[in-house]
Amino acid sequence: MNILSKYKIKFNSKETIEPEEIFFDPSNITVDSMGQVEVPIKQANIIIFFIITSILLVVFGGKVLYMQIFRYDYFSQIAKSNKMRSISIEAPRGIIFDRSGRQLVFNGSSFDLIVIPAFFPVNSPERTVLTDKLSKIIGETNDKISGLIKKRGNYFLGEVVIKENIDYDSALLFESQINDINGVYLKQKNFRKYVDGEYFSHILGYVGKISPDEILKDNKYSINDFIGKDGIESYYEGELRGVAGEQKIEANQKNSENKPVVVKEPLAGKNLVLTIDYNLQKKLYDVMLRKLKSLNLRKGAAIIVHPATGETLALVSFPSFDNNTFSAFNAGGSSFANPQDVFNDPAKPLFNRAVSGIYPPGSTVKPFLAAGILEEGLISPYKKIFAAGAITIADQYNPDVFYTFHDWKEHGSINIIDAIAQSSNVYFYTLGGGYGNIKGLGIDRIKYYLNKFHFGLKTGIDLPGEAIGIIPDPQWKNEVKNEDWYIGDTYNTSIGQGDMMVTPIQLVSAASYIATGKWHTPYLVKKIIDNEQYKTIKANEFDDNISDKNIDIAREGMRQAVVRGSAQALSGISRQVAGKTGTAQFGSDGKYHAWFIGFAPFDNPNLAIVVLIEGGGEGSSVAVPVAKEVLEWYFGNYK
C-alpha cells in the first residue's frame, strides 16, 4: 500500500480525499493553523512572482554587464585609486624683492619624517619593534611616536608628522635607515629665511603652520601646510603660494607600500617687487629706534610714501620682531627669540602700529580742517580773527556755569595760514565749532571734510589689519558712550582731540593729498612676476572735489610751519620742507603722543613722511628731529 494512503487530508468542506489526488486538483487545497494542507497559492500569483524575479535578474545582470564591459576603464581606475595614496608636494613660495631688485626673503628646505598609519604595520608586536627602531633613529621617545600614530588611528591614510625640520645631512642619514620600513618616508618642505628680519617684519610678515580655522576657509590646504600669517606674506598669499605638486604611494595586498612617485611637479609661486627702498627703510628704522631708546620708550611708527604715486617707500612699527623667529629656519636652537616670548611681550611686537594703531592726531589735523573751512566759504584765506589764549562758553543747560577751552598761547590777530603755522587752537575752535558771531563748520561738516581725506575710512593699503579710526559725531557718542553731544565735543574734534582717532597711514596719505592735490591709495607691491611676465601695479588716484586753491592755502600753512612755526628745525634742510607738528594728549595722566607730518621738496614733492612716538611728548622736540635726520640723509643720497 502506498504511504500516502495512510493519511487523510481534511478540507474546509469536511470532505476527505486521498493524498495522491492533491496533485491532480490542487486548486481547492488549504492548510489549517495546525499545519494541515490548505488551498495552495494561486497560479496567477506564481506567474507574477516569476515575472518580477526575471525582471530583477535582467536588471542586475545588465548592471553587471554595464560595469564590467562598458565602464570597465572607469571602475578599474576607481579600484586602483583605492590602493593609491596621494601626497602633495609643497610649491616653493614666490620671492620678494625691494624696488631695486634686492632680495628680501630666501627659500630654504628642510624635511619632515612622515608616517602613514594605514601603511604602517598594525600588528602590535611588530609595530612596537618598528617604533623602537624609529625612536633610536630620530631621537624621539617610543611613547611620543606611538601616541602621534594612535591619535590619528591605525588605519588613517593621512600624513602624521613624527619629526619636523630635519636638516639635509640628517635627512640623508635617516633615509638610509628607514628605507625598509613601510609607511615611513621623508617629505621635503620649504621655509622662509628673511633678510634683516627686524627691519622688514611688519611689511613682510611671516609664514606659519595653518590652523584648523584657516583650513575651513580654504579646502586647498592640508593640516601640515604653511600659510602667510601677516604682512605681505598674508595679503598676497594667493600669488606667493604657488600650486602644489603631487606624488603617489601604492599599497599592495599586504598593506605595505612602495616609495613615493612624483606624478605632478609643483609650480612655484609668483615673485613680488615691492615699492620699498631697502636703504631708506633701514635708515628710518635705525633713527626711530635710536630716538625711542633715548626716551626709554618702545612704541612708535613711521612711514614714508611718494605723494605723487602712493608708493610706500618705508614703513616701520615699534617694537619690531624678527620674523625668522617663526620660521623652520629657527628650528633646532638658534639665536632667535622663542615665538612664545614674542606673543607674550606686553608691548605687542606683532601689532603693526603703522596701519592698525589708532591715536588722537592732535594739531596734525588742522591743515585738513582748514581746507574744509575754506571749501565751505566760512572765511577768506587772508581774513584775520583775534585768537586769544582761550575761549569761554556758558553751559547750554545752566547759563551760570561756564567752560573754558585753552590754547597753548595767545596768538593775536591771525589768518588761516598763520593758524596752521602757529597751531592756534582758538582759531580752529572758532571756525570748527563756532564762536561769537562766527559760524563754525559743525560736527557733521567736519566729519564730511575729514572723510574726504580718508580719516574714518580705510586707505586701502595692501596690508592686513588696517584700522578705520574714529571721527566722532552725536550718533557715535550716543551708541558707544550713551552720552549726549556737546559743543565742547566739536571743539575737541576741531583740534584733533577728544574721541577722534586716526592711523599713521591715514595721516601720511592725507599729507600726500595736500602735497599734490590728489589722493592716492598707498601701496607696497609694485610688480607681480609670473614666468618672467611683469604685471605693474598702480595706485587708485582721484580728486575728492576739494579745490586746488584751497589745497594750496593748506599747503602754504604747512610750509610756514617750517619757516616760522613749530617745525622750524627743518628749515635748514637742503630742500624746502612743509610740515605740521602734533602733541596729542591721551589718557587721564597728562601724557602726549609726539607727531610730525610733512612733505618735500615743497614745489615738487617726491616724499611725504609721518613720525609717531607714543608717549613721546612734544611733536616739535621729539618727532621733528627724527624727520630731520631722515630727510637730510635722503636728500644727501638721492638726487
pLDDT tens digits, 316-344: 999 999 999 987 655 444 445 778 888 89
Cα 509 from Cα 507, distance rounded (Å): 5
Number of domains in the chain: 2
**282 phi, psi to nearest 5 deg:** -65, -40
* CATH code of the domain containing 382: 3.40.710.10
Q: Per the domain annotation, does 166 fall within a domain?
A: yes
Q: In terms of domains, do 269 and 391 share one? A: no
Q: Within 13 A of 309's CA, how many CA atoms are on the CB side?
A: 17
| For the ranges 66-80, 114-128, 171-185, the one whose mean pLDDT is highest | 171-185
Q: What is the DSSP letter of 68?
A: I
Distance CA 70, CA 499 (A): 75
pLDDT band with cut points at 50, 70 and 90 for residue 1: very low
Quick one: 390 and 248 in the same domain? no
Is 599 part of a structural domain of the chain? no
Are 228 and 371 within one domain? no
**Mean pLDDT, residues 357-362:** 98
Q: Could you tell me which of 442, 424, 425, 599 has the C-alpha nearest to residue 509?
A: 599
pLDDT score recorded for residue 535: 78
The rounded percent of the chain whose pLDDT value lies above 90 is: 57
Asked if 377 and 269 sit in the same domain, the reply is: no
Whether the predicted pLDDT of 39 surpasses 60: no
Which candidate, 77, 68, 66, 302, places its Cα nearest to that of 203?
302
Q: Is pLDDT at 360 greater than 80 in this prediction?
A: yes
pLDDT average, residue stretch 300-320: 97
Whether 118 and 265 share a structural domain: yes
The pLDDT of 60-80, averaged and rounded, is: 62
Using omega within 30 degrees of 0 as the cis cutoff, is the peptide bond preceding 601 cis? yes
CA distance 187 to 171: 9
Q: To the nearest whole percent, how much of the chain has pLDDT over 70?
A: 84
- Among 493, 520, 547, identify where a domain stops: 520
Residue 568 in any domain: the answer is: no
Exposed, middle or buried, 273 (CB in 10 Å: 0-12/13-18/19+)?
buried
Would you place residue 285 in the very low, low, confident or very high pLDDT band (cuts 50, 70, 90)? Answer: very high
Answer yes or no: is pLDDT of 254 > 70. Answer: no
pLDDT digits (tens, 9 = 90+) for 407-454: 999 999 999 999 999 999 999 999 999 999 999 999 999 999 999 999
The answer, yes or no, to whether residue 6 has pLDDT greater than 70, is no
Rounded to two decimals, the pTM is: 0.81
Query: Is-contact 185 171, C-beta < 8 A?
Result: no
> How buried is 394 (Cβ within 10 angstroms: 0-12 exposed, 13-18 middle, 19+ buried)?
exposed
pLDDT digits (tens, 9 = 90+) for 545-594: 899 999 999 999 999 999 999 999 999 899 999 999 999 999 878 899 99
Residue after which a domain boundary falls, among 229, 244, 274: 274
Confidence of residue 14 (pLDDT cuts 50, 70, 90): very low
Cα 585 to the center of its chain, rounded Å: 31
Range of the domain at 454: 362-520
Using the predicted structure, report yes or no on whether residue 375 has a pLDDT greater than 70.
yes
The runs of H, that is alpha helices, within 237-277 are: 237-240
Same domain, 510 and 366: yes
Q: How many CB atoms lie within 10 A of CB 424?
A: 26
Q: For position 222, which CATH number holds?
A: 3.90.1310.10
pLDDT at residue number 57: 81
The answer to whether residues 318 and 201 touch, using CB atoms and an 8 Å cutoff, is no
CB neighbourhood size of 92 (10 A): 15
Predicted confidence (pLDDT) at residue 84 exceeds the cutoff of 80: no
**Residue 620 in domain:** no
Bond preceding residue 349 cis, omega within 30 of 0? no
User: Per the domain annotation, does 430 fall within a domain?
Assistant: yes
How many Cβ atoms are within 10 Å of 422's Cβ, its own excluded?
A: 22
- For the chain, helix, strand, coil in percent to 5 are 40, 25, 40
Asked whether residue 260 carries a pLDDT value surpassing 70, the answer given is: no
Three-class HEC string of 495-510? CCCCCCEECHHHHHHH
Domain annotation covers residue 408: yes
| 64 within domain boundaries | no
pLDDT number for residue 624: 98
Tell me if 164 sits within 8 A of 112, measured CB to CB.
yes
Residue ending a domain, among 258, 274, 290, is 274
Determine the pLDDT at residue 154: 67
Residue 354, pLDDT > 60, answer yes
Residue 112 has pLDDT above 60, yes or no: yes
Q: Is residue 9 in some structural domain?
A: no
Please count the other Cβ atoms lying within 10 Å of the Cβ belonging to residue 567: 29
pLDDT at residue 397, rounded to an integer = 80
User: Which pLDDT value is given to residue 212?
Assistant: 85
Up-side HSE of residue 383: CA atoms within 13 Å toward CB? 8
380 and 270 housed in the same domain: no
Nearest to 368 by CA among 485, 469, 519: 519
Q: Is the domain of 113 the same as that of 228?
A: yes
Assign 456 to helix, strand or coil.
Answer: coil
Least confident of 173-177, 188-192, 509-513, 540-544: 540-544
- State the pLDDT at residue 378: 96
Quote the pLDDT of residue 377.
Answer: 95
Shared-domain flag, residues 92 and 230: yes
Is a pLDDT exceeding 50 seen at residue 238?
Answer: yes
**For 242-256, what is the mean pLDDT?**
66
Distance between alpha carbon 199 and the CA centroid of its chain, in Å? Answer: 20
* 85 vs 553: CA distance, rounded Å: 70
**Using alpha carbons only, what angle is made at residue 583 by residues 582 and 587, rounded to the nearest 5 degrees?**
135
Provide the grid cell at 169: 645631512
Q: How confident is the model at residue 71 (pLDDT cuts 50, 70, 90)?
A: low
Are the C-beta atoms of residues 311 and 523 closer than 8 Å to each other? yes
